Amino acid sequence: MKTIGVLTSGGDAPGMNAAIRAVVRTGIYNQVRILGIKQGYNGLINGNIEEMNLSSVADIIHRGGTILRTARCDEFATDDGLNKALNIIEVFNIDGLIVLGGDGSFKGAKTLSDKGIPTIGIPCTIDNDMGYTDYTIGFYTAVETVVDAISKIRDTSSSHGRANIVEVMGRHCGDIALYAGLAGGAESIIVPEENTDIDAVCRKLIQGRNRGKLHSIIVLSEGVGNAYEMAKEIEEKTSAETRVTILGHIQRGGTPTSFDRIMASQMGYRAVELLLEGKAGRAVGVRQNQIIDLDFDEALSQKRVFRKDMYEIARILSI
């Protein structure tokens, strides 16, 4: 293995830079040339590629975003796009590839792996929606951002005696809402994995108000209804003035937490190690605090299990 390419794909996630740094430094330590592929699979299709050295990854471990830039690339899903990528891989003498991204990016990595390109995936997405790994890089940073926002919103919520809906990202996965809601002491958490009865949310709000509670924080996963319509319904049913905050892309940026940096460093290191061991077509992950790797098919087929136990704890603690 003389040359390894590395790319970041899909939505960015804090900690991607720490993982790139780990890949580059581990590669160079092992006398492997590392090529940085820019803007995800686009860079692989059009040859937007640069050799990286130790200094290319200096001063990035603490930075959000990705120095390689990222994209969601539709062309790569076509035969023409795939063939262009395979050609570039040959032209640049890329012997192995490391893909940092979520499940969509891993599907692309698997396609290349099926075509005989030794490929390893590192899970990077704030959504934490990949079933085979306990955590994805970026998730805990997003949770910290949401918890920080909840604390600030709670201040003004108490001052005004209002209810506040805080809408968070996560696509089809309620983990950001669940973890941030539990850590932020939210009164209600609404996620796609559990049916929500708005009347129950309203009853909780009224009960809290009756015992002198001044604030009410409702954490809502994106896609589970419309936050503004929900606010209107809550206002009508409880007469509590209700405001909406949609946190949006603020959750995707910022300095990665230590946990994300530590995972990124370990996973980046392991990804290079796997290629050097001659292993390919594997997804790196973490389970019970151990770095693991699984075949892409197996990793992609594992459905995320929702932490009902945590959801129940959050419900009980917010009475």
Active site residue 127: yes
Name the one residue in this structure whose structure tokens are 């969509």.
Answer: 104
**The token pair that represents 268 in the structure block:** 């980046």
Name the one residue in this structure whose structure tokens are 């075509």.
Answer: 115
Considering the complex, what minimum distance in angstroms separates the CB of residue 66 from ligand F6P?
13
**The token pair that represents 273 in the structure block:** 């190690």
Residue of 155, 150, 105 lying closest to 125 (CA atoms): 105
Q: Which CB atom, from 110 or from 252, has the smaller least distance to ligand F6P? A: 252
191 appears as a binding residue in the annotation: no
Task: Out of 107, 171, 307, 315, point to the residue binding ligand F6P (CB under 6 A).
Answer: 171
282 appears as a binding residue in the annotation: no
Q: Is 126 in the site for ligand F6P (CB under 6 A)?
A: yes
Catalytic residue chosen out of the listed positions 127, 175, 260, 293: 127
Partners of 119 in beta bridges: 97
21 appears as a binding residue in the annotation: yes
Q: Is 11 in the site for ligand F6P (CB under 6 A)?
A: yes
Residue of 82, 75, 72 lying closest to 115 (CA atoms): 82
Q: Is 125 in the site for ligand F6P (CB under 6 A)?
A: yes
Q: Is 252 in the site for ligand F6P (CB under 6 A)?
A: yes
Q: Where are the alpha helices (DSSP H) in 47-102?
A: 79-91
Q: Is 127 in the site for ligand F6P (CB under 6 A)?
A: yes
Cβ burial of 29 (10 Å; 0-12, 13-18, 19+) is exposed
**Residue 300: CA count within 13 A, CB half-sphere:** 18
Q: Check: CB of residue 298 under 8 Å from CB of residue 132.
A: yes
The residue at minimum Cβ distance from ligand F6P is 169
Considering the complex, what minimum distance in angstroms separates the CB of residue 246 from ligand F6P?
12
Q: Which CB atom, from 57 or from 168, has the smaller least distance to ligand F6P? A: 168
Q: Is 138 in the site for ligand F6P (CB under 6 A)?
A: no
| Maximum alpha-carbon separation in the chain | 70
Return binding residues for Mg(2+). Answer: 103
Residues that bind ligand F6P (CB under 6 A): 11, 102, 125-127, 169-171, 222, 252
Residue numbers in the known binding site for ATP are 11, 72-73, 102-105
